[in-house]
Structure 1
Amino acid sequence: MRLDKFLKVSRLIKRRTVAKDVSDQGRVLLNGREAKPSSVIKIGDVLDIQFGQRTLTVRVERLSESTRKEDIEGLYTVLKEEARKKEEDNPFL
């Protein structure tokens, strides 16, 4: 399954076009490497997604072509969620 589609189906990102843009900007890592929107996702892969001041690390547990809101549980497991500090963004503060 494509990365941009997984991000949308899993509801980590609401729209596929936004998932594509985020990937194109280099804000998604797949198993520690920068991922393109067309990167193939497999069960067991680890994704690091940067949302503004927050980074979310998840492991892919299950793939599904489409899901209802009730069925998204179990698609991924959150491994780590961390907020970046302002000092990391600008060392001159």
Structure 2
Amino acid sequence: MDRRHFAVDVRLGGTGAAGGTIRSPLLRRGLAERVRDPLDGRRNVLKATGEGARLHRRPVTRTARMNRVFLAPLDQDERETLLGLIARVTDAAEDLRR
């Protein structure tokens, strides 16, 4: 699952313990359900339920609002540069954890 998003269509490729650590609570809480992958019918993917999608929207909306407030002093190019740099640092840190 993309570590930054619990998207409406959550695709979990991992089958090990780490994947189970992510999947199990989502399934147990009714935030996701198993469905056949429309691109590869041999595997299952998780799809957000209505409640899971609703729950995801709240922090996404808040984050967008906070970004507008905090990044207001920057012009669009500066915002894109800053967010791109933050994404690179975050990706590098994630790679170190693997």
Q: TM-score range by the shorter chain?
A: under 0.3
Q: Going by fraction, where is strand more abundant, 1 or 2?
A: 1
TM-score (norm 1): 0.27
Larger Rg: 2
TM-score (norm 2): 0.26
Q: Going by fraction, where is helix more abundant, 1 or 2?
A: 2
